[in-house]
Amino acid sequence: MKHHGGRVEVICGSMFSGKTEELIRRVRRATIARQTVQVFKPAIDSRHALQRVTSHNGQDFEAIPVNEARAILDQLQPGTTVVAIDEAQFFDAAIVGVVDQLAARGIRVILAGLDTDFRGEPFGAMPDLLCRADDVVKLHAICMVCGEEAARTQRLVNGQPANYHDPVIMVGAAEAYEARCREHHSVPGRELA
């Protein structure tokens, strides 16, 4: 089934907020509606099976790993009406143009990704994708310190908050990251302006 026009949907939030789970839910609904779906993920995300997107609660869906955003266009099959892209923050800046091209072709594009990095700062191309989206959903996790709603990702190194000057990209899961509220999110070495 073809859409009447392309659109861009962005699902964002901290780690453990359910972004991939929501992406999979939307993809499954599109499949039930007999739409032709392709799911992509950055090859750098090696936490789970290489050719699957997997949520922290164990849900998964077949995916094509790609090394750069433009490879999505190369891998696009004729007749695809829905393209889902997980971990969008890990893609190069070209992801913005790729998404615009897909939507211009009448394709529904569903993206999931971290809107901020462990420092609490905008992550990769996500700010541009959020601005171009037709629909944005920000999900929240639960703060691992106080149990309140969490919108931040805390990176831990040997059980302590990572320093501001540590590398931004370090693929990991529960052993290296946890969700935190604004009050309990800590980034040593950050200079306040």
Q: Dihedral of CA 44/49/54/56: which sign?
A: negative
What percentage of the chain exceeds 90 in pLDDT?
76
**Would residue 87 show up in a list of annotated catalytic residues for this protein?**
yes
Q: Which CATH class is domain 7-139?
A: alpha beta
What's residue 173's pLDDT? 43
Question: 109-120: per-residue pLDDT in tens?
Answer: 999 999 999 999
Between 55 and 5, the higher pLDDT residue: 5
What's residue 56's pLDDT? 62
Q: How many CA atoms lie within 13 A of 58 on its CB side?
A: 0
What's residue 44's pLDDT? 79
Q: Which of 87, 121, 148, 191 is catalytic?
A: 87
What's residue 57's pLDDT? 65
Q: Residue 158 — very low, low, confident or very high, per pLDDT cuts 50/70/90?
A: confident
